[in-house]
Amino acid sequence: MIGTLTAFSDELRRAGLPVSLTETLDAVRATEALPLANPAVLRAALAASFVKDVTHQRAFDTVFDVFFSGAPPRARLDEPALAGELADGGQGGGDATGELDAASLADALADALSGRGELDLNRLAALAVERFAGIEANRPVGLSYYLYRVLRGLDLDATVSGLLEQVRAGTIESPPELDQIPDLGLRRRLQREGVADRSEALRQAIEAELARRLAAVRGAVPVARSLRRNLVEDVDFMHASRTDLAAMRRSLAPLARVLAARLARRRRLGRQGALDFRSTIRHSLSTGGVPVAPRFRLPRRTKPELVVLADVSGSVAAFARFTLHLVYALGSQFSAVRSFAFIDGIDEVSRIFAQSSSITEAIERVETEAAVVAADGHSDYGGAFSRFSARYLDAVTARSTVLVLGDGRGNYHPAHPEVLAGLARRARRLYWLNPEPRAYWGSGDSLIAQYAPSCDAVVECRNLRQLERFVSELS
């Protein structure tokens, strides 16, 4: 068991979870006092040892299912009990040998998704995998291939679409738990949501069933590797799916609270300043001139002013949204924040943030109301910086920290690096956050190499983890 737990904790680290040796030892001690035959108890104990953030739970569950669910019992198509379950629906279970046909399986799927069937989704997933996956132990293909085969065999999307159409037309009975709802519109909306939720649950059950079966024939580690997904804080802004973006938005508010508390504490405590020689000598008189307790001048830490220049063109829009969201959530840590959005034109959007009731509304208004297009609507960093210098130069003072957000790709427009250099001379600090991988900088129409000498730092900022690290160091 110790070897399995060690491999399990190693895989969690590779998945991005912060797992220490102490936590692994805690998990080992927990398993010594638990009934290992109960997967639910084991899952809860290991999650208590390893999971410290709710956003890490899904990654933990994926790895746990591969390592500890074991080889599942095979769901046979000719299993009499299963045939009886499907036959109870009045659809006819199969042929004379008891083997279920495709029509019976399709009927069972429709009943299960509509909430009127008696066949459990996990049971249905096992049956679908047995019938359609065709797992070959020696074939080097991953779970996604077999998942595609099962979903194609079930024709899940077509079944879901058909059920939703029946709900809209009112030609399908509602599940028993909804029969007591008098409002027909509400009942149908709940029916639609139920179909969608059950279809997603079935998809996840099929994936889990495939993972268990593949782990039984190939081993847990290679299967866990193929299932590995980035944690939400490690997902690239520029390649995030719709689901990833939603999860990242949910993570921003707690992340902002943690960062704000950390920055406020750092300001409150600060570091010791320079040695105060006079005060040290004066206080040493009580110890015969020996400076037992050195005295220091406490530093005067002031909140910086922040000027944000954000490229909101399509290629980096998601990155700009999250960065602006976090910056404004941390607004109390700066004495002033002024934001400017640009593509090839530039416009101050601070007023939009001040007038909006929420940060989400403000960012949506920036995308629709800000005058950020001056010519062809393609990113022009040189032109945008020149317009900023001509119209808003007074925003940058000796107390300002300038933050440029963008990939630095200027579509082969003139770079005008001297304009950015002039802004850097006026500002206290100038940082550039780039959502592109560092290996891409300087390639094609990238202007980063021309702008970098004017910056105090050009920082790769591709995900929430890197954004958090930079903001915590900014103030």
Residue 432 phi/psi, 5° resolution? -120, 125
* Contact indicator for 396, 469 with CB cutoff of 8 Å: no
Give the model's pLDDT for residue 427.
92
Give pairs for 70-74: CB < 8 Å, separation 24+.
70/212, 70/216, 71/212, 71/213, 71/215, 71/216, 72/126, 72/209, 72/212, 72/213, 72/216, 74/126, 74/130
> What DSSP designation does 171 have?
-
DSSP codes of every residue in 97-136: T-PPPHHHHHHHHHHHHHT---S-HHHHHHHHHHHHT---
Q: What is the domain partition of the chain in residue ranges? A: 2-68, 80-219, 245-269+302-474, 273-300
* Contact indicator for 168, 162 with CB cutoff of 8 Å: no
User: Shortest CA distance to 116 belongs to which of 167, 78, 185?
Assistant: 167
Give the model's pLDDT for residue 385.
94
H-run or E-run covering 82: helix 80-87
For the structural domain made of 245-269+302-474, what CATH number should be given?
Answer: 3.40.50.410
H-run or E-run covering 431: strand 429-434
HSE at residue 214, side-chain half, CA atoms within 13 A, is 28
Give the model's pLDDT for residue 79.
45
* Contact indicator for 67, 54 with CB cutoff of 8 Å: no
Give the model's pLDDT for residue 99.
46
User: Shortest CA distance to 53 belongs to which of 262, 242, 255?
Assistant: 255
Instruction: Decide: residue 3, CB within 10 A, 0-12 exposed, 13-18 middle, 19+ buried.
Output: exposed
Interacting residues of 451 by C-beta distance below 8 A, sequence separation 6+: 381, 404, 408, 415, 417, 420, 432, 458
Give the model's pLDDT for residue 279.
85
Give the model's pLDDT for residue 419.
94
Question: What is the C-alpha end-to-end distance of the chain, expressed in Å?
Answer: 46
Residue 427 phi/psi, 5° resolution? -90, 160
Which two structure tokens, joined as six digits, stand for 294? 């050195």
pLDDT tens for the 475 residues of the chain, in order: 777 788 888 878 877 788 888 888 888 888 877 776 677 788 888 888 888 877 778 778 777 877 776 544 434 444 444 444 444 444 444 443 334 566 777 778 877 777 776 667 878 888 888 788 777 666 665 677 778 888 888 888 888 888 888 878 877 777 777 767 777 778 778 878 888 888 888 888 887 777 777 766 666 666 666 666 667 777 777 777 777 777 777 777 777 777 667 666 655 555 556 677 788 888 888 887 788 788 877 666 566 788 889 888 876 877 887 777 777 776 666 778 888 989 989 999 888 887 877 777 877 888 788 888 888 888 899 999 999 999 999 999 988 888 898 899 999 999 999 999 999 999 988 999 898 898 999 888 999 999 999 999 999 988 888 887 887 776 5
Q: Is 34 helix (H, G, I), strand (E, B) or coil?
A: coil
H-run or E-run covering 460: strand 457-460
Residue with tokens 């976090």: 326
**Strands of 258-415, DSSP E:** 305-311, 336-342, 346-348, 400-405
Q: Please give the Cα distance from 323 to 405 (Å, whole number).
A: 8
Q: Please give the Cα distance from 312 to 292 (Å, whole number).
A: 57
